[in-house]
Chains A and B, each alone.
Chain A
Amino acid sequence: KQEVTQIPAALSVPEGENLVLNCSFTDSAIYNLQWFRQDPGKGLTSLLLIQSSQREQTSGRLNASLDKSSGRSTLYIAASQPGDSATYLCAVRIIQGAQKLVFGQGTRLTINP
């Protein structure tokens, strides 16, 4: 059974810092991996999607990497801003599971002005 883990559960850093969020998964047989952002009381917003054949994806100040063989992904946020404060979740699409995603429990990020 695929399990997705995100460490740390919470992270607080001062504004302007570059930071890395981690995601690990137990079964390397994945179709793709997505990073989402969730603001308090809101739904999830997709940030980046990496196909299993890709090593990284970039969008603005965000860069996500994928190392399928080691079961790891990282989300790099450059020059963090208070508006980046949110919970970040990663999710893997399991190959056998027709569009089904398995989510980690998220990292709650706080950027202090």
Chain B
Amino acid sequence: DAGITQSPRYKITETGRQVTLMCHQTWSHSYMFWYRQDLGHGLRLIYYSAAADITDKGEVPDGYVVSRSKTENFPLTLESATRSQTSVYFCASSDPGGVGTDTQYFGPGTRLTVL
């Protein structure tokens, strides 16, 4: 399917477990992002990537790890999940210099619950 997809859409896990959220885009956009959305905080940037093998921290990176070996994939790993990481996670991508320059396109989100 064309566009940006996330999997799983829903995940329940336990404190201390490792969890990986997947993000895949079919546009070959150079930039990809991970956000979390929480009541009272809005959307906050966790990590972003400007290209394959280039990643950088956002506003709330602690407890998360990312990698980007291929342009189209940008997985987010919670190495040891905590209850405070219960949230809705959104992946996004953008293509600076292309049509609709700077527009970020969002995936449908993953609702993660840490018990």
Contact = CB atoms under 8 A, between A and B. Distances in A.
A61 interface: no
Given A49-B100, A101-B104, A43 B90 contact: yes
A99 B31 contact: yes
Contacts of A36: 106
Interface residues of B, number: 25
A100 interface: yes
Interface string A42-60: 1111100100000000000
A98 B31 CA distance: 10
A45 B106 CA distance: 7
Contacts of A46: 100, 103-105
Interface size class of A (residues with CB under 8 A): 20 to 34
Interface stretch (A20-28, A66-74, A76-84, A103-111): A103-111
B106 A103 contact: no
Interface in B10-33: 31, 33
A106 B105 contact: no
B96 to A, nearest CB: 7
Contacts of B48: 98-100
B109 A32 contact: no
Nearest to A101: B104
B44, B45, B58 — most chain A CB neighbours (10 Å): B45
A34 B43 contact: no
A89 B43 contact: yes
Given A89-B43, A98-B50, A34 B108 contact: no
Q: Which 4 A-B pairs have the closest CB atoms?
A: A43-B106, A105-B42, A103-B43, A44-B106
